[in-house]
Amino acid sequence: MQAPALKAIFDLVRDVPDFPRPGIMFKDITPMLADAAAFGACIDALCAPWHGLGIGAVCGIESRGFIFGAAMARALKAGFVPLRKAGKLPPPIVGVDYGLEYGHDRLEIGTEALSPGERVIVVDDVLATGGTLEAGRRLVERLGAEVVGASVVIELTGLHGRARWSGPAPLHALIGC
């Protein structure tokens, strides 16, 4: 994607200081989502690295990853699998606990959501400290699926979350800030 299109997307992301806790700079994507052209350009850019790679499923991380993941799944002609917070999926499930920038959480997936060997990408809106994205990768691998890579809209580069992304699969970020 060309720089002006990325700038148009980034200009529609609003900074909200001290949310959800003091010291956190929240990246509000809702103005970008409300702009049809910017949202479409964002989905096109998120999908670009994955065309032609036989992606069988896009795993979107709760909750804003659902927005991007579902749209990407449609564009890539793949299934969509939600990676949910604890207690939101019916059994049987598997889960992993992980650390956040401001606490701890748990991510879960249905045990029959992916097939062994299925080619999968993991998607979220923001890469901060990397715990959530890495938890998503671990969940997918637990079911025997192949993590082809990950995509995020925004990478908070100062938090070095990319360092937690393990393995050879690429991690693509549209915007670094």
80-92 tens-digit pLDDT: 999 999 999 999 9
pLDDT digits 0-9 by tens, 49-63: 999 999 999 999 999
**Cα 157 to Cα 171: distance, rounded to the nearest angstrom:** 13
Of 115, 117, 120, 144, nearest to 133 (Cα)?
120
Q: Which entry of 14, 21, 62, 64 is annotated as an active-site residue? A: 64
Our answer to whether residue 64 is catalytic in this structure is yes
Beta bridge mates, 79: 57
Q: Which entry of 101, 138, 146, 162 is annotated as an active-site residue? A: 101
pTM: 0.93
pLDDT digits 0-9 by tens, 143-173: 999 999 999 999 999 999 999 998 899 999 9
Asked whether 148 and 55 are in contact (CB, 8 A), the reply is yes
pLDDT digits 0-9 by tens, 100-137: 766 789 999 999 999 999 999 999 999 988 999 999 99
Our answer to whether residue 101 is catalytic in this structure is yes
Bond from prior residue into 63 cis (ω within 30 degrees of 0): yes
The DSSP output letter for 3 is: H
| Beta-carbon count within 10 A of 19 CB | 12
